């Protein structure tokens, strides 16, 4: 019979075990003082920390932390009323910290940080003098399959960047890890979707690892929207009257999906000055044997960017608008230099993909803390709407469909919360565009 506990006043089945060749700790839910699971769109690997009660140092008689990659944490949680949201994770303990109560040894505890077991597999040295060549997606798929990890081949792109012998082949240093190489590839991987070069993201899904472009994720925003939150009054089933609201496509829970508070920010001036800038791409022309340069104009990229990352969204009151305000100086007079050891055409596309990323991930941002839900994941979308039509100018920025960039699942005894961080690069139809903004 499964062991159950109450979390947020709901029934959950659970299992927590820590084990290695020295022994196994089977933990009761009451012994887990704190558990945090972190999911981030920029990394396919989850991580986090766990704090367990260790009265009278009792755990040391059953288990000793080795710190050599063989310490395994197994976490299973299953909501009894929503079994489809059950999770089953296996992690490798990364670090141990003992916290002692100076007054009472019964108050001692242990804190462990952990990483995804798949990430731990890649923390080994790259084979000395081995060359990795081919399309980035194909190289990544070969690495994953080499460790017998599942790959969703229908959603695993090859990408357009090719690691080739001329002019660039990757030969790792003697202490270079496979994990380092994976993130090296992810840093430069891109795909040309239509006329827009944009980044590819590696993600761990139910069917296996996927490798999709940002444009593909945004194109499927209607399929990926997970839930809706009401910004304001309690959700009572009324129609969405605010002009800036997204279409009522996402499910919501009456009287539950209500945002009491959140942190919201627009791009500050230092971000605007640092990341929204024309790019001068510098490379080598192997035919002429000379330096080659290309001016990547921000105003030209914005026109292409808007078709893939703004126009794919809609508001009930009209057309969405790009939320990027630029002066003529930013559009014409300022440049940063970009140079990489790849073919010149690849360098131009990588520079454009970086600029596209900056226009999205340094744009409108929001953080919120809400009641926990195991189904929330990075890389999905949430809607924020309002039941009142009022004169708040900020509504055009806050209301709409947001991409979830990170989710932290935080359980403290019987209280379970999610901290959600999300971003949005468009505004609603009532947004007042500034002089210099690209339509």
Do 196 and 277 fall into the same domain? no
Taking each helix axis from N to C end, the angle separating 344-361 and 298-309, rounded to the nearest 10 degrees, works out to 60
Do 256 and 316 fall into the same domain? yes
Q: pLDDT at position 243, please? A: 85
Task: Kindly state the helix (H) or strand (E) to which residue 108 belongs, with its residue range.
Answer: none
Do 15 and 163 fall into the same domain? no
The predicted model gives 46-69 an average pLDDT of 86
Last residue of a domain, one of 59, 92, 117: 117
Provide CB contacts within 8 A for 372, sequence distance 6+.
7, 8, 409, 410, 411, 416, 417, 418
> Are 401 and 385 within 8 A, CB to CB?
no
Burial track 50-81 (b if 16+ CB lie within 10 A, e otherwise): bbbbbeeeebeeebebeeebebbbbbbbbbee
Do 395 and 286 fall into the same domain? yes
Alpha-carbon gap, residue 246 to 424, rounded angstroms: 13
Distances in whole angstroms, Cα of residue 246 to Cα of each of 82, 260, 380: 27, 19, 15
Q: What are 361's two structure tokens?
A: 């991930």
The predicted model gives 60-66 an average pLDDT of 83
Q: Residue 35, exposed/middle/buried by CB under 10 A (0-12, 13-18, 19+)?
A: buried
Query: Among 97-106, 176-185, 202-211, 312-321, which is the least confidently predicted range?
Result: 97-106
Q: Residue 154, exposed/middle/buried by CB under 10 A (0-12, 13-18, 19+)?
A: exposed
Average pLDDT, the chain: 87
Distances in whole angstroms, Cα of residue 270 to Cα of each of 276, 312, 379, 412, 429: 10, 28, 27, 37, 27
* Residue 262 covered by a domain: yes
**Residue range of the domain that includes 110:** 4-117
Q: pLDDT at position 327, please? A: 66
* Residue 434 covered by a domain: no
* Residue 45 covered by a domain: yes
Q: What are 346's two structure tokens?
A: 């690849």
- What share of the chain has pLDDT > 70, as a percent? 89
Last residue of a domain, one of 117, 148, 173: 117
Q: What is the pLDDT of residues 26-54, one digit of tens each?
A: 999 999 999 999 999 999 999 999 999 98
Do 214 and 230 fall into the same domain? no
- The beta-carbon contacts of 313-316 under 8 Å, at least 24 apart in sequence, are 313/221, 313/246, 313/400, 313/401, 313/426, 314/246, 314/247, 315/243, 315/244, 315/245, 315/246, 315/247, 315/399, 315/400, 315/428, 315/429, 316/240, 316/242, 316/243, 316/245, 316/246, 316/247, 316/248
DSSP summary character for residue 44? S
Q: Is the pTM of this model over 0.85?
A: yes
Q: pLDDT at position 41, please? A: 96
The predicted model gives 146-174 an average pLDDT of 81
* Residue 128 covered by a domain: no
Q: pLDDT at position 439, please? A: 43
Task: Tell me if the bond preceding 167 is cis, omega within 30° of 0.
Answer: yes
Q: Is residue 228 over pLDDT 70?
A: yes
Q: pLDDT at position 437, please? A: 45
* Residue 419 covered by a domain: yes
Do 92 and 27 fall into the same domain? yes
* Residue 373 covered by a domain: yes
Indicate the number of domains in the chain: 3
Do 311 and 414 fall into the same domain? yes
Nearest to 359 by CA among 347, 351, 370, 368: 351
Q: pLDDT at position 1, please? A: 52
> Are 365 and 265 within 8 A, CB to CB?
yes
Q: Is residue 167 over pLDDT 60?
A: no
The predicted model gives 146-173 an average pLDDT of 82
Provide CB contacts within 8 A for 129, sequence distance 6+.
171
Q: pLDDT at position 82, please? A: 93
Do 231 and 215 fall into the same domain? no
37 has which bridge partners? 48, 409
Alpha-carbon gap, residue 159 to 200, rounded angstroms: 7
Do 287 and 369 fall into the same domain? yes
Last residue of a domain, one of 85, 117, 149: 117
Question: In CATH, what number is assigned to the domain containing residue 92?
Answer: 2.40.10.10
Nearest to 114 by CA among 141, 153, 74: 74
* Residue 125 covered by a domain: no
**Phi, psi (deg, nearest 5) at residue 296:** -95, 100
* Residue 358 covered by a domain: yes
> Are 432 and 25 within 8 A, CB to CB?
no
DSSP summary character for residue 360? H
Do 204 and 270 fall into the same domain? no
Provide CB contacts within 8 A for 297, sequence distance 6+.
278, 331
Do 324 and 396 fall into the same domain? yes
DSSP summary character for residue 318? B
Do 321 and 358 fall into the same domain? yes
Q: What are 391's two structure tokens?
A: 């004169």
The predicted model gives 64-80 an average pLDDT of 93
Cβ neighbour number for residue 329 with a 10 Å cutoff: 9
Cβ neighbour number for residue 352 with a 10 Å cutoff: 24
Q: Is residue 68 over pLDDT 80?
A: yes
The residue among 70 and 328 whose pLDDT is bigger is: 70
Q: How confident is the model at residue 356 (pLDDT cuts 50, 70, 90)?
A: very high
Q: What is the pLDDT of residues 367-421, one digit of tens each?
A: 999 999 999 999 999 999 887 766 677 888 999 999 999 999 999 989 999 999 9
């Amino acid at each position: 019979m499964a062991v159950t506990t109450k979390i947020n006043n709901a029934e959950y089945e659970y299992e927590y075990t820590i084990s290695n060749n020295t022994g196994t700790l089977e933990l009761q839910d009451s012994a887990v003082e704190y558990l945090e699971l972190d999911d981030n769109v920029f990394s396919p690997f989850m991580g986090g920390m766990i704090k367990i009660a260790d009265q009278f140092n009792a755990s040391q008689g059953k288990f000793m932390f080795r710190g050599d990659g063989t310490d395994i944490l197994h976490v299973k949680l299953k909501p009894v009323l929503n079994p489809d949201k059950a999770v089953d994770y296996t992690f490798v303990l990364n670090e141990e910290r003992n916290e002692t109560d100076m007054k009472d040894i019964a108050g001692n505890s242990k804190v462990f940080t952990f990483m995804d077991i798949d990430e731990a597999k890649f923390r080994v040295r790259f084979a000395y003098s081995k060359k990795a060549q081919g399309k980035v997606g194909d190289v990544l798929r070969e690495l994953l399959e080499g460790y017998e990890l599942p790959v969703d081949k229908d959603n695993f792109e090859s990408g357009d960047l090719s690691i080739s012998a001329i002019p660039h082949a990757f030969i790792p240093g003697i202490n270079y890890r496979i994990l380092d190489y994976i993130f090296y590839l992810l840093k430069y991987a891109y795909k040309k979707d239509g006329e827009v070069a944009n980044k590819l993201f590696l993600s761990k899904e139910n069917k296996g690892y996927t490798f999709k472009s940002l444009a593909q994720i945004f194109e499927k925003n209607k399929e990926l929207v997970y839930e809706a939150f009401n910004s304001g009054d309690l959700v009572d089933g009324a129609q969405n009257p605010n002009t800036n609201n997204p279409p009522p496509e996402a499910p919501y829970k009456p009287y539950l999906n209500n945002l009491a508070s959140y942190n919201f920010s627009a791009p500050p001036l230092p971000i605007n000055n640092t990341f929204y800038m024309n790019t001068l791409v510098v490379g080598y022309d192997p035919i002429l044997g000379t330096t080659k340069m290309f001016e990547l104009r921000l105003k030209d990229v914005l026109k292409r960017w808007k078709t893939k990352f703004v126009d794919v969204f809609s508001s009930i009151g009209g057309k969405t608008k790009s939320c990027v305000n630029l002066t003529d100086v930013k559009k014409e007079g300022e440049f940063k230099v970009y140079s990489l050891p790849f073919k010149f055409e690849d360098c131009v596309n990588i520079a454009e993909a970086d600029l596209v990323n900056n226009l999205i991930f340094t744009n409108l941002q929001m953080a919120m803390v809400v009641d926990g839900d195991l189904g929330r994941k990075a890389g999905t979308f949430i809607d924020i709407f309002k039941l009142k039509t009022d004169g708040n100018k900020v509504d055009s920025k806050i209301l709409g469909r947001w991409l979830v960039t990170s989710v932290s699942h935080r359980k403290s005894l019987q209280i379970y919360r999610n901290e959600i961080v999300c971003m949005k690069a468009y505004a609603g139809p009532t947004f007042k565009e500034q002089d210099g903004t690209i339509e």
